[in-house]
Chains A and B, each alone.
Chain A
Amino acid sequence: AQSVTQLDSHVSVSEGTPVLLRCNYSSSYSPSLFWYVQHPNKGLQLLLKYTSAATLVKGINGFEAEFKKSETSFHLTKPSAHMSDAAEYFCVVSDLDTGRRALTFGSGTRLQVQP
């Protein structure tokens, strides 16, 4: 069975400093991994996804994530935080081996950006 662990429920950074949101996954086969962002009172928006091509994935708004199979990690980073990055971020896994298209979500990391 697949699972996702987001290691921090809350992260606070100052504007202009780097962002690191940590995610570890468990999957029986070759997973696809996603990061979604949810701004307050909004739906979820895809930031980026890993689909077994390049291990370093670039997404929207300057975010990127690196797939590390040996560490079963898919951490999300951004070099310089902006106030508009304040939101909740979800790491998500889709295990193709099960044949299901359903996603398994992590519990979320709330990013706070201080001025």
Chain B
Amino acid sequence: NAGVTQTPKFQVLKTGQSMTLQCAQDMNHNSMYWYRQDPGMGLRLIYYSASEGTTDKGEVPNGYNVSRLNKREFSLRLESAAPSQTSVYFCASSEGRGPRSVETQYFGPGTRLLVL
């Protein structure tokens, strides 16, 4: 099993450009997440999807959109990139057996994004 995979690994954008970060998991998990990691701030949740067909905002959703394409795939789109979106982006997944279940999240290797 590959676990959680992310593409691309690294991307440079100019301000105003758009791009989509791809994430896929092969663990048959229901829930998927997008985080950003900035120095000294840990990881902050951008969006999550508790099940196929549903998405919800996290802590820092502004400037992003997401699509839960199917159970395996969860993409993150930047419509008009800004330098403040320079960050490392992590996708994660968990089994999602219910709101009171205790779940481990499994993380992908990350995408480093630089917006000039």
Q: Which residues of A come within 8 Å of B, CB atoms?
A: 4, 9, 32, 34, 36, 42-46, 49, 51, 90, 94, 96, 99-103, 105-108
Contact = CB atoms under 8 A, between A and B. Distances in A.
A99 B104 contact: no
5 contacts: A44-B90, A45-B107, A90-B43, A99-B99, A102-B58
Nearest to B9: A41
Interface of B: 4, 31, 33, 40-45, 48, 50, 58, 90, 92, 94, 96, 99-110
A87 B105 CA distance: 19
Given A44-B90, A49-B104, A94-B102, A101 B44 contact: no
A45 B107 CA distance: 7
B116 to A, nearest CB: 21
B105 A51 contact: no
Given A102-B58, A103-B45, 8 more contacts: A4-B42, A43-B4, A43-B90, A44-B107, A45-B107, A90-B43, A102-B33, A107-B40
A102 B48 contact: yes
Contacts of B106: 46
B42 A101 contact: no
B102 A32 contact: yes
A100 B47 CA distance: 12
Contacts of B92: 44
A43 B96 contact: no
A9 B40 contact: yes
Contacts of B110: 42-43
B99 A96 contact: yes
A49 B102 CA distance: 9
B109 A42 contact: yes
Given A42-B109, A102-B33, A96 B43 contact: no
